[in-house]
Amino acid sequence: MDKLRILHMYPAMLDLYGDSGNVEILSYRCRMRGIETEVVKHDLGDKDTDFSGVDIVYLGGGADFEQQLLADDLLGLKDNIRKAYENGVYFLMICGGYQLMGQYYKDSNGKKIPGLGLFDYYTVASTNKRERCIGNIVVETTLGDKKYKVIGFENHGGQTTNVKTPFGKVLAGNGNEFASSVEGYTEKNVTATYLHGPLLSKNPRLADYIISYCMTRKTGQPYKPEQINDKLEAECRKVLLERLLKK
Amino acid sequence: MSIKNTLTIWFGKFMVKALHLLGRDAGNAPGLILWEMNKDCLKAFKVDCPIIAVTGTNGKTSVTNYLNHIFESTGKKIITNKQGNNLDTGITSLLLQNCDMKGRVKADYLVLEIDESHVPVIFSKMKLETLVLLNFFRDQLDRNGEVETLILKVKKFLETFEGNVVLNADDPNVSRLGLANPKNKNIFYFSVEKYAGATEKPYEVGEGKFCPRCGEELKYDYYQYSHVGKFRCPKCGFGDVKPYVTAKNVKLDVPSIEFEGEEYKISHNSIYYVYNLSAVYAAASLYNFDKKVLHETFEKFEVNNGRLEKFNVDGSSLLVNLAKNPVGANMTLRVMNEHKGEKELLFVLNDNLADGHDVSWIWDINFSVFNDVTRVVTSGTRAYDIAIRIKCSGYDPDKIVVKPELDDAMVEFFKNKGDKYAIANYTAIQPTRAAIKRYKAKVKEGRENG
């Protein structure tokens, strides 16, 4: 049986807004296709986290307080993470996880938290804690060569700029900055986004895209996931897109 | 009284009267308008009696109703916001309806439930005697911000507060507030002894894993539910407090608990409810109530109103509980899973303003244990979201029926007779109760018409 290994970074600290649900959904959708998943965790202070053989690195969102606490630990993993990224491991990062992989994050108290510097973007939060991008959001992204509408919920004070290859075009909501036209950051093996929901719950094709990428990379054969019962997801998307894209 | 205050009261009273003449319930509106006109409008009222306030994420309404019942049982005149309305504007409306033209509020006690974020603004303008703090969980994050922000707000208020503070010793987020004002000697902790369902590892998502004083990871002997349990900071000793009141011998199968060597029969079998009663017991103890009143209240009093409310519908027995956040939902699921035999679940999920537009909190609910649940019906504006959540926990999607309209959901839910559980979030709870009652009436009517 095929097996995918997911490295869940700081699950106890980066787990705001049900973000850990993304790992649950990836595991669920793999299980339905007869793919086993193993979720390994890296917690603050872990010294012997094994990055080899990892297929997906996952980081969720966290509060400012938690991001500060883990910044040093994350910097200590810089070489491991860069190597995994260069080897084509898939990186899925939400909100705080997205911010921490950039150059830096300046929080709402003006405190600068250094990022891992894997990507060029950087994030500055308004010092007015009330100024946040909050609400339902729809982003149009491209998966392979197909356009796909991604539905989620954004809630961030941070404004992310210097994004060269955004995840998608904003159809409703704010995106990387207030009233931005673009959202998130992407590469062939990277999805970084502000979308909670959790992200994969209402966007099964994005989940399957990640699974296909990982399986193809692992086996060397093009992988096509078989269709599973997604009636609930299809109905949910229909209802929400109708509601959110109504002008 | 200053002219401004006199006018504030007169205008407010006029609004309440006018609304009554129109046959409307005053509700929040007069308070809202008064706050727009005068940010200090609360100062226009003269409240000479003691004020007791209850706050925290879960259980405010229940604890307030219990305290109110206890005070009233001894013949005291109480003014209370039984139905919620726990923001600054709601409290203003409440006082307007209960004051004379000079703004005098006549009562023996004010027993108020107050939204966590409104404690500082309300009690900077009125003198508070006792604050009861139940718990802090993640709740409606898009409305309230992160839990930490909320705790710091209450902490700031407590730094200069010298009245009674009743605190949950077993919730690190609450317990830490006992340190807010080192000069305040009136800190009273309540605690609950380890119960049979306590676990060594956390069973549900929680907050407050790190010591608020030194940042070290907290060590737990056991978890009662969520992050509530016996904890201690291995580095600085945070958590080592001496409770004023401890509920002992928690027997959920009876159900009963023990305070100060006396056994109390209670009416629900949930640990979460035992914590509420411990808060009630601690607060009531500050006011020296006859133990007889407490026995009677704990055994017989029911809040209903969608809080562990029981219904009999067409041969089915149903327990309905409000859940605004994962911890609330997990509590109902615990009660459901502990009940032996097959059952069905209804989950009503809305995403209106008062719920928070973000429904991702449902992914923090632990659906991994689902003992003998034969069918799930979902309803509300986000009926599909909760259906997907339950499906991805491994439940057969063919056993989930989605009916966004409540009346349709009721027909579906009561199709089979048996034991049933319903969870509804904030704006869903009253419409759900109403739909249950409509369904009951329809069944009765159908029977009478033959």
- pLDDT of B293 reads 96
- What tokens appear for B127 in the block? 């003198």
Give yes or no: residues B296 and B433 share one domain: no
According to DSSP, the β-strands at B219-225 and B228-232 are: antiparallel
In this predicted structure, the answer to whether residue A35 has a pLDDT above a threshold of 90 is yes
- pLDDT of B144 reads 53
Evaluate whether B238 touches B211 at the Cβ level (below 8 Å): yes
Give yes or no: residues B286 and B330 share one domain: no
Q: How far apart are the first and last CA of chain B?
A: 66
Among candidates B205, B388, B398 on the partner chain, residue whose Cβ is nearest the Cβ of A236: B388
Q: How many domains does chain B have?
A: 2
Give yes or no: residues B319 and B373 share one domain: yes
Q: How far apart are the first and last CA of chain A?
A: 48
Evaluate whether B392 touches A24 at the Cβ level (below 8 Å): yes
Q: What is the mean pLDDT of chain A?
A: 94
Cis before residue A198, ω within 30 degrees of 0? yes
Residue A106 one-letter amino acid: K
- pLDDT of B14 reads 86
- The domain locations on chain A are 3-244
Give yes or no: residues B213 and B113 share one domain: yes
Domain containing B102: what range? 3-300
Residues B26 and B15: their CA atoms lie apart, in Å, by: 8
Give yes or no: residues B257 and B291 share one domain: yes
CATH code of B375's domain: 3.90.190.20
- pLDDT of A65 reads 72
Instruction: Tell which wins on pLDDT, A123 or A15.
Output: A123
CATH of span A3-244: 3.40.50.880
Residues A141 and A167: their CA atoms lie apart, in Å, by: 6
Residues A154 and A136: their CA atoms lie apart, in Å, by: 6
Confidence of residue A14 (pLDDT cuts 50, 70, 90): confident
Backbone angles phi, psi at A165, to 5 degrees: -125, 85
DSSP SS3 for B420? strand
Evaluate whether B316 touches B346 at the Cβ level (below 8 Å): no
Count H helices, E strands: chain B? 14, 19
- What tokens appear for A121 in the block? 């973007």
DSSP SS3 for A18? helix
pLDDT in tens, A51-107: 989 999 999 998 777 778 888 999 999 999 999 999 999 999 999 999 999 999 998
- pLDDT of B38 reads 86
- pLDDT of B106 reads 93
- pLDDT of B450 reads 64
Give yes or no: residues B162 and B35 share one domain: yes
Evaluate whether B329 touches B138 at the Cβ level (below 8 Å): no
Give yes or no: residues B50 and B70 share one domain: yes
Enter the DSSP assignment of B138. -
Q: What is the DSSP string of A76-103?
A: TTHHHHHHHHHTT-EEEEETHHHHHTSS
Taking contacts as CB-CB distances below 8 angstroms, the residues of chain B near A196 are: 358, 360
Q: What is the mean pLDDT of each run of 10 residues along chain B (450 residues)?
A: 84 84 75 86 92 95 96 94 84 92 94 95 94 88 68 95 98 95 97 94 75 90 94 94 97 95 94 96 95 96 91 95 92 89 97 90 92 96 98 96 98 97 96 97 86
The fraction of chain A above a pLDDT of 90, given in percent, is: 81
- pLDDT of B114 reads 96
Chain B nearest C-alpha distance from A83 (Å): 30
pLDDT in tens, A166-215: 999 999 999 999 999 999 999 999 999 999 999 999 999 999 999 999 99
Largest CA distance in chain A: 52
Give yes or no: residues B43 and B163 share one domain: yes
Q: Which of B119, B123, B122, B147 is nearest to B135 (CA)?
A: B147
Q: What is the DSSP string of A137-192?
A: EEEEEEETTEEEEEEEEEEESEEEE--SS-SEEEEES--SSTT-SEESEEETTEEE
H runs (alpha helix) in B82-191 = 88-97, 119-123, 141-144, 147-158, 172-175
Evaluate whether B275 touches B168 at the Cβ level (below 8 Å): yes
- pLDDT of A102 reads 96
CB contact under 8 A, A18 and B392: no
Give yes or no: residues B285 and B403 share one domain: no
Q: Which of B210, B229, B318 is nearest to B272 (CA)?
A: B229
CB contact under 8 A, B393 and A197: no
Chain B: which residues have CB within 8 Å of chain A? Answer: 138, 141-142, 145-146, 148-149, 205, 209-210, 215, 357-364, 384-385, 387-389, 391-394, 397-398, 400, 402, 404
Beta bridge partners of residue A93, listed in sequence order: A59, A192
Taking contacts as CB-CB distances below 8 angstroms, the residues of chain B near A68 are: none
Give yes or no: residues B284 and B315 share one domain: no
DSSP SS3 for B422? strand
Contact map slice: A 213-242 vs B, CB within 8 A? 229, 231-233, 235-236, 239-240
CATH code of B131's domain: 3.40.1190.10
Give yes or no: residues B20 and B96 share one domain: yes
ipTM of predicted complex: 0.96
Give yes or no: residues B318 and B265 share one domain: no
Contact map slice: A 147-206 vs B, CB within 8 A? 153, 155, 196-198, 201-202
* Residue linked to tokens 């309300």: B122
- What tokens appear for A11 in the block? 């699950």
